[in-house]
Amino acid sequence: MVDQLGKEIITVPMYLRLWDSQGFPDRTLRNWLLFSETTDWQTVHNRLCGFAYSLLVVTLRELKIISEKQDIPELPRHDEESARKLCKEKPEDYVPLVIELQKRLASAFREHMTAGQSYYTSNSNREIFYHKFVENSGQVDHENMPEHGQYGCESWNLVEAGERLCRFIDEHKVLESHQGPRRPLVILALDEAHVLTDNLPEQRRDLFMVLRQYLRQLQMLPIFWLFISTAACFDKWPPRNLPDPSARVREPDNRPLDLISEISFDDIA
């Protein structure tokens, strides 16, 4: 279903499962993200901030390369005022053009990341994509970032990177308008994401908890993170004893949405 979504919405696939007979992981990403246990939480926070930031930056770079190689036509150029006026007065003319551009970018990116892929191995473009990601992550200079609370990852880095990615897809925010179709622009999909909740138990925190602190900074952008898991224990998260502000969802007045716990492929057939 996520793969089908990638035909219309730009979707970045990330597979974190250990390799076995059931499929393949994105090894470069997994090895970098699930680093060895450490008690240095500055390192943990920097690594996860770099993960979110670099993923946005490298995705934008790849989209630009794909757009040039496949000669995806650009939209007619308008300044922001005229684009908004056109969207308001003749939405039936301009909004479909933006949606069509998004679909063409999404389809081209999906083909780029999956062409020639087998059941056991990812394709070379996908491997190169995550090698670029790791290289970019190593270049993120956390020491020069302004302090943000206890740790040195400042929100403007993520927001700025996310904004640049969104504006490449929808330059004048016509798909974010309350009068428009309100479409998501980018989906970042982590498959077998439960591995992020099984780290550093002696610290009473996990990678997923820390990562969400940074993803929350992107809540005003049409960028969505999709966490997928086949682990039966994932619906027990977060444990009640974890000192996490989001544990308030366990309170009776803040009931969370139920997880989709089972999908039958027979129903699809």
| 170-182: average pLDDT | 78
Number of domains forming the structure of the chain:
1
| DSSP β-bridge partners for residue 225 | 188
**263: confidence class by pLDDT, cuts 50, 70, 90:** low
| DSSP β-bridge partners for residue 20 | 23
Q: Which of 124, 126, 159, 168 is nearest to 12 (CA)?
A: 126
Residue type, 104: R
pTM of the model: 0.78
Show the beta-strand stretches assigned E in the chain: 10-15, 186-191, 223-228
What is the Cα–Cα distance from 249 to 254, expressed in whole angstroms?
5
- Quick: pLDDT tens for 139-171: 765 444 444 444 445 555 889 999 999 999 988
Domain that holds residue 169: 2-268
| 121-143: average pLDDT | 80
Sign of the C-alpha dihedral computed for residues 257, 199, 134 and 193 taken in this order: negative
| 18-32: average pLDDT | 73
**229: confidence class by pLDDT, cuts 50, 70, 90:** confident
- pLDDT at residue 143, as a whole number: 47
